[in-house]
Structure 1
Amino acid sequence: MSSAGTPQAPAGRGIKPLDSLHRHARLVVLIFPLIVMLGLPLVFIQGQPSYQSTGTIQVSPRYMKTLRDDIELEFQSNTQFLQFIQQQARTVNRYDVLELALQRLDQAGHDYWRRDGESERKRIERLQQSLSIRHVRDTYLVQVTLTADRPDGLAELVNAVIAAYLERARQEQVYAAEERVASLRQRESDLLSQIQSMTSQRTVIGQTLGVTAFNPDEVNAFDRQVRQLNEDLLEARQARIRAESRLNAFLEQRESDTELRSIQESILTDPGLNSLKASLNQRRAELLSNTAGMAPNHPARLDAEDELAAIDAEIESREQTLRNHLIAGMEQRHRASTLQARSVEQQLAEMLAEFDTRAARYAEQFNQAVSLNHHLGLLWSELDQVRDRLNFFAAEETSPGFSRLVTTALPPLYPTGTGKKRLLALLLIAAMGISLALPMAIDFLNPRIRTVADAHRALGFAPTGWLIEADSPAHERLATDQLRRLASSLIRDHERNGTRIIVLSSARPGGGTTWLVRRLAKTLQALGYPTLAVEANAYRPDAVYGPGPGLVQWLAGDLEQAPVIEGSAMSTLPSGLEQGSQGLPLLERLPGLLRSLPERHRFIIVDAPPLLTHADAELIAGAGDAVLLVAEAEAVQRGELQRAGRLLQAIDPAVVGSVVNRIRPFLGGGYVGSLAEEHQRGHKLDASGMVQALRITLTALLRAPLELMSDLTGLVRRNRGRRADQCGPA
């Protein structure tokens, strides 16, 4: 019994070859000839001797350039290079490449790869199927291998295929090179035509404007002239205004401005007037000197005063005449200056108007020429790029590219292949191996419980006991001994923990629970422990527990005491049902009634229905002191046993154990078989047991064909009889 910690699960069930072969002898006999019959055509087809010739090419991860690098021909990652190798391997076997290779051989007079009445397409497709192109792992090498039943011309054909591939690869190493060169040539012609047209237009504009260069950063000549005319016109307008201002001021003030010498100053500095004044003043001095001391009425004084007055009048007349002359000259001068300023302003205005009209046309043509210059620069730049690309194609046309020949194919000297005899031997070995391995695989992958270790792994704890399949006297004796061992375990638990009521339930129906309850009760009774076997499985009542009223009537209260049937071998309490029902009534009374049974029954063993299929099993399990889960070997699966274990974990009884029932010993070894033999003989086995198991297995294999023939004969007879019954008399 076990409810303590979970021990470590045991190792796997292992493989028992002799047991598997004995168990599936018919399958072995059926599989072996079937594999042989399926493999014989392959032996005759693949067993023919063949010849091979192999050539090797290298696919470089870098483009083997002639002039310079090009990013278009570089691989950015190792994945891209591997994909490129696969693409090159497919190219070798391409239809057009093989067609070119065969044409070259035909032209050279080597007609190796042709059959009578075979079309050209069929010939090429047959070559495609015969060629093997393989990338040598972790290298840059690709092997081209041709296999045929004759050695003639193999090396020549492989070399022709490689040569055709290298030629095509060199042509196609730059994708669509011919089309791209033609497109670039056309673009070059278009660019030259546009450049010539734009250059002619610019020349005409230059001749019209009289300019040889058109710089957009410089101001054109007409713009400079117009700007200068505007400046000159502004200065002329200012000069006219100043002239008119001087003239108006002179006419009002009769005096020149501060920039010119005044009229009075001109009079004072006039040489003629000053000379006249000097002579007259000299005369005045003489007259004043002569009249000095004369009386006012002196006749000489009066004459002198008259002469002095005449001198003053003469000076004043001369000054006035000079003033008038200066004023007239000054006025004429101002008027001439004003007229000149007006004339200059008018001429500059007329020139500016004319230049404005011409400057608009000039600017339009100048800007057109600048635009032509810009477009010509773009066209020349594009033309340089086009010519650079054309030069690249021309330089790389004859470069090695990515692929090159490493080793040429050599004529084969000896045939290759396994041969029919060797293939037949391999087929027989393979058929034998599969036939022997398949039964072992079936048993190994079988999800059903077969051993105690299987139950241990499924439940997580070691089973309390196990019972061998009692199909022989030796096994019956061992089973009886195992029942005594199981009874001993229950007695120890009873002595230690007072366990009295023990519920037995299988995971699925047909697990042998009733048989185990009866045998275990008899064993305990024989050991001196009075035991009562209670039938609590209302779904399938068993007559072995006895007739009459039983547990159902006692639960219903129809009986005051339990209707126990006393016996010498054991005591029983039947279910009280003659046929199956939907369950026991009033199960809540079961724990109390079971514990009220007389103490003379040291053990009460309850035969409960299967745990996974009937709900009563959970309620009955809760009424016991311990629960033993019965697992029938080779009938219950590991998953079902695990689900039953989870149900017991949910019920949580005080003590949980398990018993693996009807374990069939392995043929040719194993703990159970050896234990049964040693239990019968009373001493340790020697190697003769293995020899006997081998002899039994071989006998089963030899008898399997006869049994299959017998089964087939019986099946045929049954089909004939069924057809005769269906037809019947008319």
Structure 2
Amino acid sequence: MLIKNQSLHLRDIFRVLKKRRNVLVGFFITVFSVVLLYTFASTPLYEGSTKIMIEKAEGDNLTGRYVSRSTDPEFYGTQFQLIKSRAVARRVVKTLGLDKNPEAFYGKHSDRNSSIGTILPKVKSFFISVGNLFMTREARQNRQEQGQLSDAERIAIEISEEIQVRPVLESRIININFFSPNPELAALIANTTAKAYIEEILEMKLDSTRRRLDWMTQKAEAEAIKLQESEQALQDYMKANNLVTIENRMTVTPERLSEINIQLLRAESRRKELQALYSKVRSVGRNYRSAQTIAAIASDPALQALRAQIVETEKSMMELGNKYGPKHPLMVKTRGDLHVLQRKRNQEIERIVESIKNEYELALSNERSLRQKLENSKTEALVLNEKFIQYGHLKRVIDTNRTLYDALLLKLKEQSITEETQPVNLWLVEKASVPLEPAKPWVALNLQIGILLGALGGIALAFFLEYLDNTIKDPEDVEAVLGVPVIGVVQRKRNADHLENMVVTEPQSALAESFRGIRTAIQLSFPDNPPKKILMTSSVMGEGKTTTAANLALSTSQSNHRVLLIEGDLRRPRFHKIFKISNVKGLSNYLAGDVDAPIMHKGPLPHMAIIPAGPIPPNPAELLISKRMQALLETASHDFDFIICDAPPLLPVADTRILGRLFDGVILVSDAGQTTFDLVERSLKMLQDINARLLGMVINRHDAAKSGYYHQSSYDYYESPKCQTQGNRD
């Protein structure tokens, strides 16, 4: 097993390869044999190779010059697909007349066919038959449709699939290759494919140009109709709304509004001035003296002349009054003249007041007229603006249609001129010559690839199987992954009887030595406080815990220690069969309350005693949890140096978890190559939950021949007859 999060050393690699050497060698032989068979069974194929040059260039309008554009990463990939397309293959078939003479393609094969080559069609037919069983309905329909194709179409499909396109590095040169058993046919198809590709590209370009011309012609006609309709719509709208000079009117209207607005402001100011003057004049009424104090009245020239005459008359009256008296005829005449002048003055004042009133009313009327004129102009401007918006929309439609129409006409003329002068960016550089030697199969390369794939695949498969293998096999893995010490490893013994008492029957065997090693490890690992009561268990059934417990008890008794072996598995007891003792009375009788029953039997060695399980009870766990079991262990610990108990497996039943708290230590037995790390981790978790003391693990049935940690020679030393003879002498 490859341990995660641990560095892989070179010795680990050699260990895995040595361990999985059979897989590695088998995979290598299989791959190499398949490659060898394929190489020598394949029909020799000849390669026809044609070189063409592809340049990406486009015409520059009407100048006739061609300029290279920016690099297009998809350009060459597209060209490669075109070369391998069925359209090109159909041209090849038609050019070579293969549609009329299919035998020219299928019949011209090389006579250099290997006798082994007859195997390949049979193998291919077998795999096709197997594949048909798993094909979907759609796949079967496609297969049937292909079967109904004509010979020409099938040949075209084969050519398109077999054509290979390879670019030459750092150039615009492209290799077109075709493999065939017939050398003449290989060269002929390669050359014809290049020509067919050039013809296909030219036809595609011409066809594209014709379609563009047709489309642009139709589009130009449609745009001409749209332009005519939009112009007619504008003309109708202008007639309906009398918009012949709308643009001039839109220019004059803002100036007119501004002028009316200025006149209105002046009229309003004039009206306010006259209104204030008229209000002041009206407040004076017929008080002519007060009226003369108003500047607008007093400044009147006629009134000023009358006032001057009145002053002169009054001055004459004063002089005449002083000279002649009030009743003098001159005085009377002068006084009459004064009254006349005063009446004229008053009449003049009334005339001025009436004039002020008329001016005020005229200013008010003028202001109202200008305001109405301004409102009418605004309304007219809004209506005109709305009409102009619609007019502008129609005019923009005309401009747009005219621009598009002109552009289409220009492009149409360009395409018409350049239709027959499209740039030819394909050149046939080198024609394929008839090959003299077959290009495939590459014998040396195939064998090298077979060796490389076989070796690397075998190594990868070995490491993959090692990675997937999650079973316990080697003590180093256990200690590295689980952190649990391994106190012993028991070698796998094939075709051996009496494994349970191997320590007695074959004391010089490697298996017996393994159990003595476990005994020694327990004693040396705890020199100050060695465990006296030892519980032997496993994760599941069949991992060898009973065999380990029996041999551990025998080896401990051989070292002159008093040992009591207890059958703690009340569900599947085996000690009475192993040591051939009676099982009529045993541990179950004692735990059930029959204290007078003799349950202890003498073992095969002088210092060893055995307590069998007795009759199988219906509830073993209820008996084991009683205080009698603890009392039995306390009593036996005074008479024996070691007490070894074989318990049921941990995971299936709860018996071991009950017994685990009564013993000084627990030994967990695991079957190498069968028990997984997950099972052991669950078992260790259970022991940890009951606070049981784990002494260590024993790896049973360890195969030293398949492990890289131990060498088979170390175990063969114990198994050799010479060693056994020497051991007997010792």
Query: Does 2:629 correspond to 1:590?
Result: yes
Aligned with 1:675: secondary structure?
helix
Q: CA deviation at 1:528?
A: 1.8
CA contact (8 A) 1:43 1:423 kept: no
Cα gap change, 1:148 to 1:668, in 2 (>3 Å): same
Query: Would the alpha carbon gap of residues 504 and 359 (structure 1) be closer, same or farther in structure 2, given more than 3 Å must change?
Result: closer
Give the deviation of 1:644 after TM superposition. 1.9
Q: Take 1:374 and 1:103, find their aligned partners in 2: how far apart are those partners?
A: 58
Question: 1:303-322, aligned counterparts within 5 Å?
Answer: 309-316=328-335
Shift in CA distance, 44/196, structure 1 to aligned 2, threshold 3 Å: farther
CA contact (8 A) 1:51 1:416 kept: no
Aligned residue in 1 for 2:535: 503
How far does residue 619 in structure 1 lie from its aligned partner after superposition?
1.9
Query: What displacement does 1:593 show?
Result: 0.9
Task: Find the counterpart in structure 2 of residue 726 from structure 1.
Answer: none
Cα distance in 2 for residues equivalent to 1:611 and 1:172: 81
Q: Mapping of 1:67-466 within 5 angstroms?
A: 85=73, 89=77, 93=81, 98=85, 110-111=95-96, 116=101, 118=150, 126=158, 128-130=160-162, 147-149=178-180, 150-154=186-190, 157-158=193-194, 161=197, 190=226, 194=230, 198=234, 212=248, 214-215=250-251, 219-221=254-256, 224-225=259-260, 228=263, 232=267, 235=270, 253=288, 257-260=297-300, 266=306, 269=309, 309-316=328-335, 330=348, 337=355, 359=377, 362-363=380-381, 366-368=384-386, 370-371=388-389, 375=393, 410-412=430-432, 418-419=440-441, 425=447, 442=465, 445-466=468-489
Matched, 1:573 2:610: yes
Report the Cα distance in structure 1 between the residues aligned to 2:251 and 2:453, rounded to whole angstroms.
93
* CA 1:407–1:251: 2 relative to 1, 3 Å: same
Amino acid at match of 1:260: D
Following superposition, the deviation at residue 520 of structure 1 comes to 2.3
User: CA, structure 1 residues 326+522, in 2 after alignment: closer, same or farther (shift >3 Å)?
Assistant: closer
Q: Which residue in 2 is equivalent to 1:478?
A: 510
Contact 1:487 1:523 in 2 (8 A): yes
Instruction: State the distance in 1 between where 2:599 and 2:100 align.
Output: 98
Unaligned runs of 5+ in 1: 1-6, 68-73, 76-80, 289-304, 685-730
SS of match in other structure, 1:522: helix
Deviations 1:221-246 (A, max 9, x none): 26734863785598589769979998
Partner of residue 65, structure 2: none
Contact residue 15 and residue 709 of structure 2 kept, 8 A: no
Across the two proteins, how many residue pairs are aligned to each other? 625
Hey, what does 1:536 align to over in structure 2? 568
Query: What's the CA shift for 1:649?
Result: 2.5
Tell me the amino acid that sits aligned with residue 500 of structure 1: K
Which residue is 1:638 aligned to?
677
CA contact (8 A) 1:131 1:144 kept: no
**Do 1:464 and 1:659's aligned partners in 2 also have CA atoms closer than 8 Å?**
yes
Closer, same or farther in 2 for the Cα pair 1:392/1:147, shift >3 Å?
farther
Q: Aligned partner of 1:566: which letter?
A: K
CA 1:136/1:657 → structure 2, altered by over 3 Å: closer, same or farther? farther
Q: Tell me: CA distance 1:163–1:594, structure 2 relative to 1, closer, same or farther (3 Å).
A: farther
CA contact (8 A) 1:52 1:146 kept: yes
Equivalent residues of 1:48, 1:417 under 8 A apart: yes
Post-superposition Cα deviations, 1:607-651, rounded to whole Å, max 9, x if no partner, equal 222222232122223222222111222332222222222222233
Look up the equivalent residue of 1:671 and give its one-letter code.
Y
What pairs with 1:653-664 in structure 2 (closer than 5 Å)? 653-664=692-703
CA distance in 2, matches of 1:19, 1:227: 113
Q: CA deviation at 1:537?
A: 1.2
Kindly provide the amino acid, as one letter, of the partner of residue 93 in structure 1. Answer: Q
| 2:553 matches 1:553 | no
Letter in 1 for 2:385: N
Partner of residue 647, structure 1 = 686
The 10-residue stretch of structure 1 (586-595 or 255-264) with the greater mean CA deviation from structure 2: 255-264
Residue aligned with 1:662, SS: strand
Distance change >3 Å, CA 20–CA 221, structure 1 → 2: closer
* Cα distance, 1:550 vs structure 2: 1.7
Q: Secondary structure at the match of 1:534?
A: strand
Quote the offset at 1:47 in angstroms. 6.3
Structure 2 residue matching 1:596: 3-state secondary structure: helix
Pair 561,210 (structure 1): closer, same or farther in 2 beyond 3 Å: closer
Say if 1:564 and 1:170 are closer, same or farther in 2 by CA, change over 3 A: farther
Separation (CA, whole Å) in 1 of partners of 2:390 and 2:165 = 59
The one-letter code matched in structure 1 to 2:555 is T
Structure 1: distance between partners of 2:223 and 2:537: 94
Residue-by-residue CA offset, 1:640-663 (whole Å, 9 max, x unaligned) = 222222222233334512211222
SS at match of 1:151: helix
Question: Are the equivalent residues in 2 in contact too, given 1:89–1:133 (CA < 8 A)?
Answer: no
User: Letter of the aligned partner of 1:363 in structure 2?
Assistant: A
In structure 2, distance between residues paired with 1:172 and 1:552: 99
Amino acid at match of 2:389: S
Describe the SS at the equivalent of 1:219: helix
Instruction: Give CA-to-partner distance per residue, 1:412-456, whole Å, 9 cap, x none.
Output: 565785417568857975897678986886566333323333443
Q: Distance in 1 between matches of 2:101 and 2:190?
A: 19
Q: Which whole-Å CA distance do the structure 2 matches of 1:637 and 1:332 have between them?
A: 136
Pick from 521, 542, 545 the counterpart of residue 553 of structure 2.
Answer: 521
TM-score by length of 1: 0.63
Cα distance, 1:485 vs structure 2: 2.2
Distance 1:360 1:491, change over 3 A: closer
SS of equivalent to 1:509: coil
What is the CA-CA distance between 1:535 and the residue it aligns to? 1.4
2:230/2:398 contact within 8 Å kept: no
SS of residue matched to 1:541: coil
Deviations 1:321-352 (A, max 9, x none): 66667777x48965995897599679959976
* Deviation per residue, 1:146-201 (Å, 9 max, x gap): 5443122525634764785699799999xx99979987996797578647865896
Of the structure 1 ranges 421-430 and 547-556, higher mean CA displacement relative to structure 2 is found in 421-430
User: In the alignment, residue 449 of structure 1 is paired with which amino acid?
Assistant: I
Tell whether the 8 Å contact from 1:92 to 1:165 is kept in structure 2 after alignment: no
What is the TM-score normalised by the length of structure 2? 0.63
User: Per the alignment, in what secondary structure is the counterpart of residue 515 of structure 2?
Assistant: helix
User: Relative CO higher for 1 or 2, CA cutoff 8 Å, sep ≥ 6?
Assistant: 1
CA distance in 1, matches of 2:245, 2:79: 64
Residue 467 of structure 1, aligned match among 486, 490, 504 = 490
User: 2:704 aligns to what SS in structure 1?
Assistant: coil
Local SS of the residue matching 2:705:
coil
Counting only pairs closer than 5 Å after superposition, residues 26-45 of structure 1 correspond to structure 2 as none
SS in 2 for 1:528: coil
Q: Of the two, which has the highest radius of gyration?
A: 1
1:456 partner letter? E
Residue identity opposite 1:533 in structure 2: L
Give the Å deviation of 1:492.
3.6
Structure 1 residues 448 and 104: alpha-carbon distance in aligned structure 2, compared to 1, 3 A threshold = closer
**Superposed CA offset, 1:62-92 (max 9, x none):** x99999xxxxxx99xxxxx9xx846973576
Report 1:572-721 matches (<5 A).
572-577=609-614, 582-583=619-620, 585-587=623-625, 588-597=627-636, 599-666=638-705, 671-680=710-719
Structure 2 contact 487–522 (Cα < 8 Å) conserved: no
Which whole-Å CA distance do the structure 2 matches of 1:376 and 1:170 have between them? 40
Name whichever of 344-353 and 496-505 sits farther off: 344-353
- Contact 1:465–1:486 (CA under 8 A) maintained in structure 2: yes
